[in-house]
Structure 1
Amino acid sequence: MAVAERIVIIGGGLTAARAVEQLRAEGFDGEVLVATAEGRPPYERPPLSKGYLLGTDDPASTIPLTKRWYREHEVELRTDAAATALDVAAHAVTIGADAVAYDRLLLATGARPRRFTGPGAELTGVHTLRTLPDSTRLRTALKDGGRRVVLMGAGWIGLEVAAAARGYGNEVTVVAPGEVPLASAVGPEVGAVFARLHEQHGVVLRMGAAVTAVRGRRRVDGVILGTGEELDADLVVVGIGAVPNTELAASAGLTIDDGIVTDSGFRTSAPDVFAAGDVANVRHPVLERHLRVEHWANAENQGRAVGRVLAGADLVYDEIPYFFTDQYDLGMEYSGYGPLAADASVVFRGDVAGREFLAFWVRDHRVVAGMNVNVWDVNETVQTLIRTGATVDPEMLRDPAVPLESLIPV
């Protein structure tokens, strides 16, 4: 009689949930173990800086698969123990006190917030945002309003928290390097749109600056900038990026380079070990380079794709990176290749001042990225423009009278 195969999935985020869901959908009937140390089934992170932080979503809405689903699909779910050691030669991973054998292993260990390491980092009132408890603590601190909040960093997390903090009636100052928010993500032209958005909602932007210390005895009462200037603060939120959780993989000798390095099918340098999600630096066939992406759609899409791979499929992952944000009355979707967009020209279509527009990043007369701001039901068309690599006239991209669909070759 053949021995049933066992697949072990390490991770507490959306990638792990979608991987196990797809694995069962593909008909894999062997043993499956999902392990996380977060005390709850794998859950989604975006609501933590959006709906849950704003108080409009409840905790259950962040969990894509309930405990009942795991039981009904005969998946062993461990939420009480971290994976602490990996022996790739023995095909075994240590979870809590147990050495667990595997036939195939998925590392979906995600990322953690980059910490502020200056003086005062340990004071009460200094927050990071990555887990559900993080978001709960931050929501509790913000919800009564009237607090002086300093955000370190003007990336997506920083700006979403800034919007939530203003929504609760707090004073908000964002301190970050660079000339405008989000410059590294969407460039200066679109970054300026977000700068105006936040300034119009009362946020003070201190760009070209950095916090060098947090002031206070036991609790935060201010921050000190590199210029020596001091800002009063009751609350500091650190949003200066994330660090992939590669320690388990690195200790087992897997190749690490800004995440766990994989091929286009999520295979790592160790036999039968795969990686996906925030922690994975996956070879992208279009870019012909490795790419690590930390957004929701990446966890969703890579989770489903690696689930198919674990079930025996042979695929090449070539999805176009996608992300979205909601801040105040602005909703946005972005699709595209960041490395190609970095030095591309930006073409706007629509009302930029009124924040109802499309933006296209054009390189060599081809759209390599696109963003729709308060304009809906166009993202699929934008992705098709990118995927086909069609040669486009920037003036036709700019003209709202020209249907986007007409620019896609038949």
Structure 2
Amino acid sequence: MTRLPERVAIVGASVASAMLIERSRELGFAGEFIVLDSDPKAPYDRPPLSKQFLLGTGPVEAAEWWPEATPVINAKAIGLLTDKRTILLDKLGEVAADAVVIATGAGSIRLPNEPAGVLSLRTAQDAVALRTAVDAGAASAIIIGAGTIGAELASTLAQRGLAVTVVDLAPQPMQRFFSGHLGEEAKAWMHQAGVVTHFGVAVESIQKADAHWTVSVSGLDLHADLVISAVGARPNTEWLTYSGLDLSNGVRCTADGKALLNTGEVADGIFAIGDVSARRVEDGTYRRFESWTQAQRHGAALAEYFAGFESTELEMAPYGWTEQFGRKVQVHGMLPPAGELVQVYAAEERNAALYRVGSAEEEAAWIGVNAPRQFSRAAMGMSLLS
């Protein structure tokens, strides 16, 4: 028997939302989807903002993956009446539905006492402001944070000819993405591109005098034309503060995306997908996966749940990727921080490598650098030699 509601309200025009709608249509859903998003440019691709868009001159392009027959209403959600499955809006009243899907993603974390004028990159508006500043003649930039976004920005701005400095409290770049592995290699990529790095340092102050910025880190003063904060992302759940949902680092959910109340009970008809959802994993903890691919899987799995199917989408190992410093880096599986890192393939002439993380007795996780064929075969459990 189908569990598909007749009217579904989705907050957030994300890639997870798009996959939910597309897969539902494939499964025969003929009901109504109401999609709300506060970003006037949504939906659009976020990954290119730190790469192609910042390098180019064209506009932010609409997402080709968005279902054409599904309009997006530009409206800001300010609350949720959970028991009534009703979304409260800032200007358009309210929207009630049989099911509410929370897909609001994550927003940039801002530093304490961060002064006005510090840039960030999460939305199209952020990307336009950053590119405008670079186009206006900025010659140098300090990037605070060396996660994937910070590293991608360092790569792109160095490619545009800026003198780039990266600072981070962590001991190495992309600490979370790599789970502590390949830190020295990632540092080398930055240094080869001329990026100056300071790791293991704390930001003490950020000041602007005339058109120039000074960032003080652990007693050292750094100077640049631009300062960009890339210290991480926080799930967009402020509008859910009084909803009664468990908002511990995102919307806590069951493994298949049913939102949980503060009492630990399932909220009837409320779901969360994508970066905003913190899902229960095998060890009983809750984890958010900031991954394009994982967001798509969330959307497809929810569509299949609604249709009464046992989805296999969420059984697949997590996958993530980044492009920076002439390298496409791919990660398959949960990288154990204490796992053994073994290089199983290398092609130095094209900066390619493949690494296995974990012991031979465990299900291995993989890191591929400019090695798409070898990475795909390893992720599928196939021999690299066949």
Pair in the same fold by TM > 0.5:
yes
Q: Which of 180, 202, 206 is residue 198 of structure 2 equivalent to? A: 206
Using the alignment, how far apart are the partners of 2:43 and 2:17 within structure 1? 7
1:33 aligns with 2:4: no
1:266 aligns with 2:263: no
Using the alignment, how far apart are the partners of 2:43 and 2:346 within structure 1? 40
* Counterpart for residue 123 of structure 1: 116
* Counterpart for residue 156 of structure 1: 148
1:233 aligns with 2:224: yes
Using the alignment, how far apart are the partners of 2:285 and 2:373 within structure 1? 30
Residues 203 and 19 (structure 1), Cα distance of their counterparts in 2 relative to 1, 3 Å cut: same
* Counterpart for residue 251 of structure 1: 242
2:142/2:226 contact within 8 Å kept:
yes
1:169 is displaced (CA, Å) by 0.4
1:219 is displaced (CA, Å) by 4.7
1:181 aligns with 2:178: no
2:41/2:124 contact within 8 Å kept:
no
SS at match of 1:326: strand
1:335 aligns with 2:332: yes
Q: Which of 374, 378, 382 is residue 374 of structure 2 equivalent to? A: 378
* Counterpart for residue 400 of structure 1: none
Amino acid in the other structure paired with 2:15? L
SS at match of 1:117: coil
1:224/1:230 contact within 8 Å kept:
yes
Q: What's the CA shift string for 1:173-222, capped at 9, x where partnerless?
A: 00112332123331554121111011011000111112221111465422
2:138/2:225 contact within 8 Å kept:
no
1:361 is displaced (CA, Å) by 0.5
Q: What's the CA shift string for 1:68-123, capped at 9, x where partnerless?
A: x13xxxx45302x11112112222111333221110110001110110123xx233
Q: What's the CA shift string for 1:286-342, capped at 9, x where partnerless?
A: x5543211121122221222233344444362231111111132112111114xx11
1:274 is displaced (CA, Å) by 0.4
Structure-2-length-normalised TM-score: 0.89
Structure-1-length-normalised TM-score: 0.84
1:84 aligns with 2:85: no
Using the alignment, how far apart are the partners of 1:258 and 1:24 within structure 2? 31
Matches within 5 A, 1:26-65: 26-55=27-56, 58-60=59-61, 62-65=63-66
Using the alignment, how far apart are the partners of 2:144 and 2:215 within structure 1? 10
* Counterpart for residue 404 of structure 1: 384
Amino acid in the other structure paired with 1:83? A
SS at match of 2:132: helix
2:13/2:72 contact within 8 Å kept:
no
Structure 1 or 2: larger helix share? Answer: 1
Between the two proteins, the alignment pairs up a number of residues equal to 373
1:360/1:367 contact within 8 Å kept:
no
Question: Among the aligned pairs, what percent are the same residue?
Answer: 29
* Counterpart for residue 304 of structure 2: 308
SS at match of 2:378: helix
1:144 is displaced (CA, Å) by 6.0
SS at match of 1:89: helix
2:163/2:195 contact within 8 Å kept:
yes
1:104/1:310 contact within 8 Å kept:
no
| Structure 1 alignment gaps of length 5 or more | 389-402
